[in-house]
Every structure is written in C-alpha cells, then in structure tokens.
Structure 1
Amino acid sequence: MMDDRGLRLDDVEIRLGERRLLALNTRIAPGETLSVMGPSGSGKSTLFALIAGFLDPAFQASGRVELDGRDLTGLPPERRRIGLLFQDALLLPHMSVGENLLFALPSAIKGRHARRRAAETMLDKVGLGDHFARDPATLSGGQAARVALARTLLAEPKALLLDEPFSGLDAELRETIRRLVFGLVAERDIPALLVTHDREDAEAAGGPMVELPAAGEP
C-alpha cells in the first residue's frame, strides 16, 4: 500500500512559453528536507511559488502537488497548510515580537492566556524566551530569523518551504540556524523543501538533492 503522507510532486512540469524550466517527480517524506539547487533563472523560485499557490500566470504548470494525499491544485495559498520561510524575516514592524507570533496562531487556540502561553513556549524553543515584548527593530539578524521560524511553526503547517533562509547570515550563525530549522522539521515530522544555490545548505539538510540545469540547458 502506497504511503500518501508527505509532499508529493507528481510529474510536475513548469514551462515559460516553449521553454521547459523544470520537471520533477518525487516525494518528500515527513521529517525529510529535499534540497533543490540551481543557478538564478533555473526555476527554483518558480517551483516554490507553484507549491505555495502563487505561481505567476505567465508560467504554465502541469502535474499534481499533493500534501498528505490531498491535491493542492486549485486551492488558495491560505488553505494549503504550507509554511514559508524566506531570506528576510519579514516581521511586522508595528508589532512586538510576541504580537508577531500571536498574529500567526490558529484561531482554534482560544483565550488570551492560552494564546500567549503558546507564543512564549515557541519563543523558548527557539532560544528567545525573554523576547516577547521586544521591538523587532532591535533584533539581530539571527534573532529575527529565529522569530520568523517561530511564527511560521506556530501556524502549524503540514509542510515547510524554505527559500534561501540562511543566505543573509554569517557562517557561525548560519550553522546554528540550519541546525535549528532542520531539527524542528524532523521533530515536527513534516516534509520540507529547500531552494538554494549553496551546496553547504543542501548538505546540512541531510536529505535528497535535486540539481536544476541553468536556464537554456536541456
């Protein structure tokens, strides 16, 4: 019996006019991170957009994207249950760190105290337990990356998409945030897809790798 858990790319193909950008047929198991590598213009970010649900209509896509056996085709981004983590933290500047996290909490968590407790617990998990009231403008790059990760995970995604999330960090901090991200992917037992041009990031993920050819190559 085929295991339908995880993120499945079933004969996915993306074209721009007559040019095929990429073709993938693979499954990312729960707790696993698939790294998709390639130079600029190879289709990494386009694949990210297809899975997340905001592919530019200039591109043509075929195949199916399934998450835990559920076909995501045609679903709006907010119904896909996919968390996104980008190079920039994208924290809301008019909210405190804690308010940024509360904003992401599912509505199923009721009550002011319960919601705050959930946010504080997640801040503890990423090593920022005393940062609830902090202004995002006062955070270092590594702290902002941790808050962005906490906010993404608080939304309880069923899969995680990582778009060059470590590229703005120095070498030591990069290694620390990598361990944190990939460790939480394994702990949460959710599939993740990392798009990157950095082989060290892909190797740190510890999962399978796919290398896309440069634009124009067969």
Structure 2
Amino acid sequence: MLLHGNSESISSFRNQIGPLSAHYQVIAMDTRGHGNSINRNTRAYSYRLFADDLKAVMDSIHIQKASLLGWSDGGNTAIEFALKHPEKIDKMVLMGANIFPGTRAIKEDIVRMFEKRRDSLMNLNDAGSNNQLRLTQLVLQEPQINADDLDRINMPTPILAGESDVIKTEHTLLIHALIKSSRVEIIAGEDHYLPLKNPGLFNKILLDFLSDK
C-alpha cells in the first residue's frame, strides 16, 4: 500500500509502482481530498481520519495484511494506522515522516511557507481553496502523536530521510529512537523528494528491505 504526501497523488509514486509491481501486488491510493479521491465532507482533515480511510479501502478489497510505504504525510498516516491496526501491517517504510508539527520537527522556512499559504487561503470561499486550506492546516496542526505510544509499534520499520529533508534530522532520529523495531538511514546528498529525484537508490533500499525475510 503506497501512501503519498500532502497535496500530492498516486502519481508521486510513478517511479515506484512499476518496479514494485514486478514483485508484489501494489495498491496506490489517492488520499481523501487528493487526486481523484473526491471529498464532500467539510470536516477538518486528520491523519487518523486518513488512517481510517486506509482501513476502509483494505477491508473493501479484502486485504487482511499488507506492507505500507508512507512518504511525508503518508508516513504520518502510516504511523497512525500502525498504532490503531498493527495486526494489518507486515512491514512499514517511512520516508520523511513526523510525529508532531511545528519547527521542532519541520524546518523553519517550510513552516513559514505553509503559514503564508494558510493566510492567503483564509478569505477564499471556493471549494478548491477550502480543500487546500484544510490540507495546509493539517500540516500546521498535526500530527499529534503521543511519543510514548510509539513503543507499541513492533513491525520492521526502516525510517528514511534525506540529508536535506524538510523534516529535521534530529526529529527523524527521535522517531527511530521511539520505534524499537526500526532502523534509520539519513541519505547523504538527498532531500524530501528522494523517491522522485533518485528512484534508483530509493527503490533499491525499498526492495532490499521488502525481500529480507
């Protein structure tokens, strides 16, 4: 199961779907309010809501257990899903995820960019702008994951981030320290968009991990 980032879609995984499909059944889903996933509900977005959506998709197509690849916001959703439905995950890969918002986790210039985006969207009333506002507020207000809860995650979990990731390196290392079954790799010379910019390297890391018994 492939989970993309904020304001992205399954097309973000265009360099992964083919190589992964040679070895596994691959399902990439557009998150609620993204891509082709229409969202008629105007409630605030949350990663727990997205995790509930993932459960509904898996149940609807009778998938009892799967490995998750969560990139950026998709990684946050994967963590929430792992806390609520650990029995449904075989392995989990996180790329550029975070467990709380703000500048302790995310680089200051990225937080400022989202704050400016929020302010520019506040007075717009069309549905598209409202959707973008909720996605922007999601980044600024979530996730709110209790660090102590991460001790309950026990499936194999590589935690990846680029050396120049938008997620601060110390935050990636914190997640690794809290998930005892994880390993961490900060990839030199790369950033938050490793799966798009260097798919050869990313796919090798991914396939090596998934094939490891």
Per the normalisation by structure 1, the TM-score is 0.27
- Larger helix fraction of residues: 2
Greater Rg over alpha carbons, structure: 1
Per the normalisation by structure 2, the TM-score is 0.27
- Larger strand fraction of residues: 1
